[in-house]
Chain A
Amino acid sequence: MFFHHFKYDFLTCIRNKGLIFWLILFPAVLGTLFKVAFSGLYDSVAVFKAIPVAIVTVEENAVFDEVISAISDGEEALFSVTETDETTALELLETKQIMGIIYVSEKLELTVGSAEKMNSSSAIQQSIIKGFVEQYEIQKSIIMDTVTNSPEKLESVIEAMSADIAPNSSVPLTEGNTDSMLSYFYNLMAMVALFGSVTGLHIATCSQGNLSALGARKCCSPVNKLVATIASLCGSTLAQSICTIISTTYLVILGIDFGTRLPLVYLAGIVGSIMGVSLGFFIGSFGTANEDVKNGVSMTISLVCCFFSGLMVSNMKAVVAMYAPWFNEINPAAVISDAFYCLNIYSDYERFTEKIITMLVMAVIFTLGGFVLTRRKRYASL
């Protein structure tokens, strides 16, 4: 009897076109859009191009010539240098072909374009040129002081300047991918899991005689309601899990880096699905509104949970953590996305296990709540 219910509920879920759309096609489209949008963002930040500058020699400076030649050569050149006269340089600056003009004499001078004409990218490039000129002047004055006051220390001073000084070195805390954009994909997976609530809701509706004709027909049959409902929940969870696996696999194929522990990523998705189905079962068991109304409520709850988890605004979870940290602990979407996050960031399994247990506890609470609400066997009205 258990397998009979399990089999047919699995079939009804897997053949439900609406469900396939929301659990596979919709996240696939959204994931693709995220990927395309974020890829553009990465390109603009990650690809560095040599900054075009003009050098106008007012007075010969052999040291500067050496330095500028060193940093404008090769594939990783900082500057792309145009040596020219002042008039041409100003024209180039006006037409934005260069970002600044360095006037070379005893003391370097810098001219950059007006702030109104510059965008954020140009402003960064101007800051880099300004930083270079200031650094050059500081180091030149240190060397001049040393030559004048302590010529015996010149060698060690030059050596110290040449060394790669890194007072604030970057020490990675994790071997995982800390890309903040990944949180969108974690939340996308959380959304897929929570959309599984639609199947749980359908089971609740179809098991109650006062909510549907199917429910009435089932209630008239010689079947233990508890066993039938558990079997149906298992069938739906299997269908939902398959959809989650397909969605996750699609994102992996798309190139989303979920880390090296992929089987556990799938596990988190499946446990999230169990929670999603049980959430839907609980919502469906509540009250006597029809299935369409409850579906609307379920979808709204899922999307609100995903919003506070950061599906629409990436730092939303941090904002919630600041003002209502308890909400992140009970928000199903936040718990699911946290599980993915923990798996990627932490090398141990402590926090990941904690999140998995939280999801399972929530699933048990929702399921028991649903059973309590649907335990009646006779109805006051149909």
Chain B
Amino acid sequence: MAETIVKIENLVKRYKDLIALDHLNLEIKQGEVYGLLGPNGSGKSTTINCLLSLLAFDKGNIEIFGEKMSPDNYSVKKNIGIIMQNVAVFDELTVYENIDYFCGLYIKDKEERRKCVEDAIAFVELDEFRKFYPKKLSGGLLRRLNIACGIAHKPELIILDEPTVAVDPQSRNKILEGIQQLNRNGATIIYTSHYMEEVEQICTRIAIIDKGKKIAEGTKEELKKMIRNTETVTIEVIDIDDDVKNKISGLPHVYSVEFSDGKLEVKCSDGKHNLIRILGVLQECGLNFGRVYSELPTLNDVFLEITGTALRDSE
């Protein structure tokens, strides 16, 4: 069984009357890409900041690598890499110097550090920009520099707090691929985001957080199994009357039929051939239809079914 890298027990953090973290429990195993998914203000960054001993908390216990985490626990800190939501680099230092500076906070040996810096530059593909100052870099390249500064010392645990905010799709894909590569190289990853697609794409296990509480945890498959919805069929039709809606509702496995803005949305709980049966009803009733989509449930559906609001609605 994999070793527990991070253990958070009954973590409570209050900002005056607001409870930011409400008895949060997390356990992250070695080699995982652990996703913390939740809307803005759900407590993801607060969890990370408590984990890193930046924030004081009211109650609870945090252990990393089996040791109690504290601001002075340098042996634990030495093996953590942190990539913050805000880019944290020096404008007056070049790409190389920035990475060397932050790497130097962890590695004293110059030769070892030089190798680590070179590896980090190669990893984020910033070789041709090594002498550039951050102000000359695009947003995507700047994010990659931010990541390089956080991982150059080759940490065992890497924490990424919304690293893809305001990043173009191409750079986002590069960043996500990079994170998966780091995981393949042996690092345990904690990844926070409010983009469910990213979390689905890279995380091996996911905790959904809302209002400071963990409301669900598991692999994406496990999370999706927790809910009733297994397939959502969407069909473009001009109009539909209640009679047709009732016929569709009566089909096996169908538990929700809604029509708005020329789109019929049918949610099914289980079973096969749902799409064929629904289209059959429409043909029987002589209705013409346009485009047809069949979608498997997303983490947004999980969040929606558990909390009653969509992830994006709650942002």
Which residues of A approach B to under 8 Å, CB–CB? 1, 4, 8, 11-13, 15-16, 209-210, 212-214, 216-223, 377-382
Contacts and interface: CB of A to CB of B under 8 A. Distances in A.
Contact of B105 (A16, A216, A218, A378): A218
Contact of B75 (A13, A217, A218, A222): A222
A12 B86 contact: no
B106 interface: yes
Contacts of B61: none
A217 B93 contact: no
Given A11-B97, A15-B92, A223-B105, 4 more contacts: A8-B104, A209-B54, A221-B105, A380-B55
Given A220-B82, A222-B105, A12 B54 contact: no
Nearest to B81: A220
Given A222-B77, A382-B49, A217 B102 contact: yes
B80 A220 contact: yes
Nearest to B53: A378
Nearest to B46: A382
A382 B105 contact: no
Interface string B73-87: 011011010101011
Interface of B: 15, 49, 52-56, 71-72, 74-75, 77-78, 80, 82, 84, 86-90, 92-93, 97, 101-102, 104-106, 108, 149-150
Given A214-B88, A220-B80, A8 B105 contact: no
B101 A8 contact: yes
Contacts of B90: 8, 12, 214
Contacts of A379: 54-56
B248 to A, nearest CB: 51
Where chain B touches its partner, the secondary structure class is: loop
Nearest first, the 10 A-B pairs at minimum CB distance are A222-B74, A377-B71, A213-B88, A221-B105, A213-B86, A15-B92, A378-B56, A222-B77, A12-B92, A217-B88
A220 B15 CA distance: 22
Contact of A381 (B15, B72, B75): B15
Contacts of B97: 8, 11
A90 to B, nearest CB: 74
Nearest to A1: B108
Contact of B71 (A1, A217, A219): A219
A220 B52 contact: yes
B189 to A, nearest CB: 16
A377 B53 contact: yes
Contacts of A13: 92
A11 B105 CA distance: 16
Contacts of B49: 216, 382
B54 A216 contact: yes
A220 B54 contact: yes
Contacts of A4: 101, 104-105, 108
Nearest to B73: A222
User: Taking each of B49, B80, B89, which has the highest tally of chain A beta carbons within 10 Å of its own beta carbon?
Assistant: B49
B102 A221 contact: yes
16 contacts: A8-B90, A12-B90, A13-B92, A213-B88, A214-B89, A217-B82, A218-B105, A220-B52, A220-B80, A221-B105, A221-B106, A222-B78, A378-B53, A378-B56, A381-B15, A382-B55
Contacts of A212: 88
A218 B90 CA distance: 12
A228 B236 CA distance: 63
A209 B52 CA distance: 11
A11 B77 CA distance: 26
Contacts of A377: 53, 71-72
Contacts of A8: 90, 93, 97, 101, 104
Nearest to A12: B92
A3 to B, nearest CB: 10
Contacts of B72: 377
User: Taking each of B89, B92, B93, B150, which has the highest tally of chain A beta carbons within 10 Å of its own beta carbon?
Assistant: B92
Given A12-B90, A221-B102, A378-B56, A213 B77 contact: no
Nearest to A19: B92
Contacts of B86: 213
Contacts of A216: 49, 54, 84, 88
B102 A12 contact: no
User: Taking each of A1, A212, A377, which has the highest tally of chain B beta carbons within 10 Å of its own beta carbon?
Assistant: A377
B12 to A, nearest CB: 14
A8 B100 CA distance: 10
Given A379-B55, A382-B49, A217 B149 contact: yes
A293 to B, nearest CB: 18
A325 to B, nearest CB: 42
Given A213-B84, A377-B53, A378-B54, A220 B92 contact: no
Given A1-B108, A213-B84, A219 B54 contact: yes
Contacts of A210: 54
Contacts of B102: 217, 221
A20 B72 CA distance: 37
Given A12-B90, A217-B84, A381 B55 contact: yes
A382 B51 CA distance: 13
Nearest to A14: B92
Contact of B87 (A1, A213, A218, A223): A213
A223 B52 CA distance: 14
Contacts of A214: 88-90
A214 B84 CA distance: 9
A4 B77 CA distance: 18
Nearest to A377: B71
